[in-house]
Amino acid sequence: MAVSHQRKLGGYISTKLWSTYLPQLTAQSIVLRPAALSLGAMSRALSMQCIGQNPSQSDHYQNAVAYYCKALRHLSQAGSATATTKEAMLLAILFTSFEGLRGNVKSALKHTYHGLLIMRELCASPEAMSYIDQLAPDPGQFISEILALYSRLAIQTQVVSQGSAELKESGTVSAGKSKDSEELDREVVNNRLSRYLLPRPGLSASPKLFMHVDEALEHWEATTRRMERLGPRVIPLLDEFLAGDARNHRKVEEAIEGIQKNREVTYFSDESQRHLRIWHDAFWPLYQRTLTTSEPCSGPTMTLICLRIEYLALSMYSMFQMQGNYDAVSALTPKCREVNELCEIVFRRQAQDSREPSMRFSISPGLTWHLIFVAMNCRDSVVRESAMRILETYHRQDGLWSSASFLEIAKRNRKVEAENCSEGNMKQQWLRLSRRVFLLEEAGDRLTDISIHEQREWVLGLYRGVCRL
């Protein structure tokens, strides 16, 4: 039961971390096994809501808590440093999943921060390579899976904070470290981990046509790794561009213009788009053939639909260089519309099994993030409203992100859009909207935003309690 549940936590795009590594390791480890059992028991307990019973009063719920505590005790008693590091990394993922499944985002955040700290210390250690090589028989594949998941969790913590985050003049959350220290850490970590982001041998070139779902998925992972290897070249540049005061209109416009003209950023965007096109050329015939010949709700069909969603999303995100270009953003409307349509297909399929809470929770993909992107950025108001309707209709939790909290952001953004359209042309209005900042504080219980009012002045608005999870 625990194994099948773990596979579902990976979503329809279930990577080897969920389909292979975690099932094997949880079966072998006295530390990980009770953590996996706690997930299965919690899922069984929460399924009782569908028949009108209180989950917290069930034996399954009590068993889940007991297994959870047992895993913590075993971790504190673990011997080998290497085993403890590996188990601690994976336990943080399992515990984040456990707390996210039952909607306790504050506790999920604590486990996420702990896991990120372990990863940071491991990768920055002078003995990093020795430790990593002992983590698994195939450490490259294993650590790349872990890195990919923790990278997504790190992005989530930038939107959802544990307490009351301090918004600095830049409109971003203070990280508590000096810029020089962060850049040094980033360079050291990137140098040590770069070889683990290489696609495995045999995937250096994409075939002209994918023959089956597993092949498409494997090459998708290789494509995203190639894009991740490009990332370290542009992150410091983006940090530099975005370090100014978000309330200073001229500074924001200069930053947007600088991003558009920067050669390194252009290279990243062009190369990312090239990798995506190569993959999609081989994917599209398989996708079309499967949709017309296979069962609409079969596992392979849903996996391909999810891959199509991820492709559409990455093809839009990798164009961040054009963020300030209204015409370029407006041209994304067809992709935004398709993201809505495909996400709703996935959510509707998952909702059919209403007694399976794990189908409404995932730790890996972020379909809710794609929907909030559409609700915030699409220039067609009908498509934005459609994204909001889907968020409101299908309640789910993607890691630290919930459809409920994102819906509150979208509602607040709707008001900002209405205020913003009162003056200027479309391009001027979009440039003003590029200065929006939203942050979920207190683990999503409070929405903080910096937005623009009719007087065209930046204000800090606190909306307490609007995102209760």
The pLDDT of residue 384 is: 98
Q: Are 312 and 338 in contact (CB under 8 A)?
A: yes
Number of other residues whose CB lies within 10 A of the CB of residue 47 = 19
- Mean pLDDT, the chain, rounded, equals 78
Q: How far apart are CA 304 and CA 214, in angstroms?
A: 10
Task: Specify the range with the lowest mean pLDDT, choosing from 222-231, 274-283, 350-359, 365-374.
Answer: 350-359
Alpha carbons 160 and 183: distance in angstroms, whole number: 23
CB distance 259 to 241 below 8 Å = yes
Residue 130 to residue 141: CA distance in whole angstroms = 16
Give the C-alpha separation, 5 to 40, whole Å: 6
User: Coil, strand or helix: which one is 15?
Assistant: coil
Contact 385, 448 (CB under 8 A): no
Q: Would you state the pLDDT for residue 465?
A: 36
pTM: 0.84
In this prediction, residue 1 carries a pLDDT of: 39
Using pLDDT thresholds of 50, 70 and 90, give the confidence band for residue 336: very high
What does the domain layout of the chain look like in residue ranges? 1-185, 198-323
C-alpha distances (whole Å) from 372 to each of 188, 377, 413, 453, 462 are 34, 8, 10, 22, 20
The answer to whether 306 and 12 have CB atoms below 8 angstroms apart is: yes
Q: What is the mean pLDDT of residues 400-406?
A: 85
CA distance 61 to 39: 10
Tokens of 154: 């790190």
Tokens representing residue 232 in the block: 């370290």
Pick from 267, 271, 246: nearest CA to 256: 246
